[in-house]
Structure 1
Amino acid sequence: MDESELVVLDVLDPICKQRISKLTDKHIGIPSDGGMRRLTPEMFSRAVQALKPDIVVPPADYVAEPPVAGNNRMANSVRRTARWLDESTGHAAPILVPVMGARSIEQREAWARIVAARNDVWGYVLNDTGLEMGLDDTLTLAKHSLGLLDASKLRYMVGASAPDAVLRAVLSGIDLVDSSYAFAVTEQGFASAYTLHGDDHGAAHVDLWHSSMADDFRPLVEDCTCFACRRHHRAYVHHLLTAHEMLATVLLQAHNLHCYQRFFADVRASIAAGSLAADAARFATRYSGAFDELHVLATQPFSPSSKAPSHRHNDPLSIANN
């Protein structure tokens, strides 16, 4: 494995909204390919010793219930997670501690006091996707929790994936996000065209499924330097999509990852220049609503190599400004 890559051990898939279930003080139930599996803190510690990850996210009792979840439930999740944290640590790998407390400010403050008393915490994980809150509510709770914790430590958030959400998260103090956004774009047969610093291409994405792409011999996105744009054109990728060729996924993924990585490079440059707030505001205006629709489309059960979407706009650049 490339030494520049990090191996993170977490009992949950960050992009999966299914939370742990069938838990007791001694074990938790986690989703796996073979159904729900029991996991004890001792089993987790053995996995850490065997896999030797670069970063460890200890098991946590995430609350995944409606807003009516009682304070006792949230208090129990804090107590149980603190116990598991004690029982599943003791290894050399850096620990990213899940931020607990769910919707309860009181329990978030209680958890912050527990974490502040430890000297083995490398950073924090904000993973409230199971609560199914909007990004505004999630970031409001995140800001409150982060305000109680050591600001010098890494702040890692799950659930901020689309570029506009990433910008809002970074402005709220998040350092690292876990995202499958480039893959989601690829699954829709879209080529990313958004940019934080570059020229406006008139849309956030280009729909390569659209019939007008059949005789469009331009690169997927003008001025893009990725392999797909340097070597191929829209008509070719459109043909691959309609022919259900796996190469469509390969080329689109290469392009969309390139675009996403360029976006993060621009974010870092904006931070260094002290212009992130202004750049983010301009980005939000330029691509207003563009990522909302893609988020909905990304939940549909199809991929470029299987079948064409059953619903598309007439405009190949429709995922753009409203």
Structure 2
Amino acid sequence: MSLLFNLLKTSEKSLRLGNLILIKNEQKIILDTPNCLAYTVRGCVPHLTPDNLHDIPLIEAVTVTLEHFIDVQPPPSTQFPGGLHKFLNFEKYFLFIDIRDSGNIKAVSSNADKYVSIYTNHGVRQVMFDSYIEYMNIYKPDVFASLADKITDEVPSLKRIRKSVDRTLKWLDNALSNVKEGIHVFGVLTGHNNKEERIRSAKETAKRNVSGFVLNGNFLGNTSRERINILKSSLDNLPSNKPRLAYGLGTPEDILLGVSEGIDLFDTHYAAKMTDAGHAFIFSLDIKNDLDSCKQQKTINLWDTYFRDDIQPLLVGCQCYSCQNHTRAYIHHLLNVHEMLATVLLMSHNLFHYTKFFKSIRESIDQGTFSSKAERFFKVYDDEYKQEKEMTENSTTVILN
């Protein structure tokens, strides 16, 4: 099995257009980047069956979390012949595995030199670093993330951050030495909020024979710009010829900022989170009019009684199954009677819309219009951007007066 990453177009502003090509047996999967990996819980995309997922045409890759399978050790799923693709009915997808839930990393007891602590439905468990590689060799994913000593402390000491980098590099070396041929490894970058340690982690990981890199934006600030500014220390010290996957960047603003700094892959946890809240995506990268008031919202809340008589689709013009067959009023009704079909239809729409958003990003990079479209997006949708602009304009007015 081979994994190739091609950069098709780059710019001096770190924008990257490429594709990730997986070839195994007679199967060839091409994942155009920037793109997303479908987030799963216990091996399923939330609210969707495999058949539902197959109806979303732009989904080519899924990410699976070992934390969801390991209530007991070894996980019962390791007894299933044929690997995790077959076990989960993900044979047509690019399958990526990590040990912790990228969308919901909970603070647990500290890690040690020989194990990582994880949070399961049956409480905290420890996974030995050699057991993790054993599980990966049985599951046979296309790619997995090496073990990482992720920091969940609010204010970690410099000693703790350095230890995190050292442990993660040690576990990466073990993974590369013991993984079976044909299974690819992404190195995880650590260093928390310390610039020097993030640079050290990035440079040392880049020296190894990894197939790509994983960056974790969780616990790194409250705003999109704060998280990206910290991750930039790592991104600036990575080779350009390997893909970068980022966690903790899910909102449209996160994605646009991440893409502008050279991140290639994201997960779809944000789509699942908004579906659980009863929201439908309506944002767009292609904004025609800054003053169009209906474009100020990124989502609509289908719990709102305003929609009880609204016979429009979730988003006019959307080609997803939900919008082609059902109305806002119907989904509002389903939510209020607690019918599970409500979240099925919402997730189908949100995931479809999310992948179309990435397609629009790729097209704008190819056409050289990404920067202008992203700037317009922030002007229309992003409250943080609006507040900063107002403060700048007010300060300028004071100076002029």
Q: TM-score range by the shorter chain?
A: 0.7 to 0.9
State the Cα distance separating 1:291 from its structure 2 match: 12
Q: 1-side partners of 2:254 and 2:376: how far apart?
A: 14
- The correspondence for 1:263, drawn from 357, 360, 376, is 357
Q: Does 1:99 align with 2:189?
A: yes
More strand by share: 2
Aligned to 2:14: none
Farther off after superposition, 128-137 or 25-34: 128-137
Distance 2:227 2:245 in 1: 13
Secondary structure at 1:228's aligned position in 2?
helix
Contact 2:253 2:382 in 1 (8 A): no
Matched residue SS, 1:220: coil
- Rounded to whole Å, the distance in 2 between the matches of 1:116 and 1:165 is 24
Of 37, 50, 65, the match for 2:125: 37
Q: CA deviation at 1:253?
A: 1.3
Identity of aligned residues (%): 33
CA gap of 1:83–1:288, structure 2 versus 1, over 3 A, is closer
- 1: CA distance, partners of 2:237 / 2:269: 29
* 1:94 partner amino acid: H
CA contact (8 A) 1:213 1:235 kept: yes
How many residues of Structure 1 are paired with residues of Structure 2 in the alignment? 290
Q: Which runs of 4+ in 1 moved over 6 A?
A: none
Structure 2 residue aligned with 1:281: 375
After the TM superposition, which of the residue ranges 106-115 and 240-249 deviates more from structure 2?
A: 106-115
Alignment of 1:207-222 (within 5 A): 207-222=301-316
Judge conservation of contact 2:225–2:257 (CA < 8 Å) in 1. no
Q: Look up the match of 2:95.
A: 7
Q: TM-score, normalised by structure 1?
A: 0.83
The structure-2 alpha-carbon separation of the partners of 1:206 and 1:143, relative to structure 1 and needing over 3 Å to count, comes to same
Out of 322, 330, 336, the position equivalent to 1:236 is 330
Change in CA separation of 1:247 and 1:96 when aligned onto 2, cut-off 3 Å:
same
**Alpha-carbon deviations, 1:70-122, whole Å to 9, x = none?**
2211111111112111223332321111112112222223223322332x211
Instruction: Check the 8 A contact 2:217/2:231 in 1, yes or no.
Output: no
Distance 1:8 1:103, change over 3 A: same
Are 1:71 and 2:158 counterparts? yes
Partner of 1:312: none
Distance 2:186 2:310 in 1: 47
Q: Does 1:246 align with 2:340?
A: yes
Q: Shift of the alpha carbon at 1:52?
A: 0.2
Compare 177-186 and 39-48 and name the one that shifted more: 177-186
The answer to whether the 8 Å contact 2:308/2:333 transfers is yes
Structure 1 residue 152 and structure 2 residue 246: aligned?
Answer: no
Counterparts of 2:104 and 2:370, CA distance in 1 = 30
The equivalent residue for 2:284 is 195
Q: CA deviation at 1:22?
A: 3.2
State the alpha-carbon separation in 2 of the partners of residues 32 and 59 from structure 1.
Answer: 17
Q: Does 1:112 align with 2:173?
A: no
* Unpaired runs of at least 5, structure 1: 293-322
**1:11-30 equivalent positions in 2, closer than 5 A:** 11-19=99-107, 21-30=109-118
Confirm whether residue 134 of structure 1 aligns to residue 228 of structure 2: no
The CA distance in 2 between the partners of 1:50 and 1:60, in whole Å, is 20
- Output the amino acid matched with 1:239: H
What is the CA–CA distance in structure 1 between the aligned matches of 2:364 and 2:319, rounded to whole Å? 21
**Residues 164-186 of structure 1 deviation map (CA, whole Å, 9 limit, x = unaligned):** 21111101111111221222222
Question: Aligned partners of 1:39, 1:291: CA distance in 2, in Å?
Answer: 42
Name the stretch that deviates more: 72-81 or 103-112: 103-112
CA distance in structure 1 between the aligned counterparts of 2:96 and 2:335, rounded to whole angstroms: 34
TM-score, length-scaled by structure 2: 0.68
Q: For 1:80, give the aligned amino acid.
A: R
Indicate if the aligned counterparts of 1:160 and 1:177 stay in contact, CA closer than 8 A.
yes
DSSP-derived class of the 1:88 partner: helix
Task: Give distance in 1, aligned partners of 2:254 and 2:298.
Answer: 14
- In structure 2, C-alpha distance between the alignment counterparts of 1:127 and 1:2, rounded to whole Å: 25
| Residue identity in the other structure for 2:298 | A
Indicate conservation of the 8 Å contact 1:98/1:125, yes or no.
yes
2:278 & 2:372 partners in 1: Cα distance?
31
Report the Cα distance in structure 1 between the residues aligned to 2:173 and 2:337, rounded to whole angstroms.
54
1:28 deviation in Å?
2.1
Deviation at 1:3, TM superposition (A): 4.6
C-alpha separation in 2, matches of 1:274 and 1:83? 41
Aligned-pair RMSD on alpha carbons? 2.2
For the residues of structure 1 that align with 2:303 and 2:196, how far apart are their CA atoms?
50
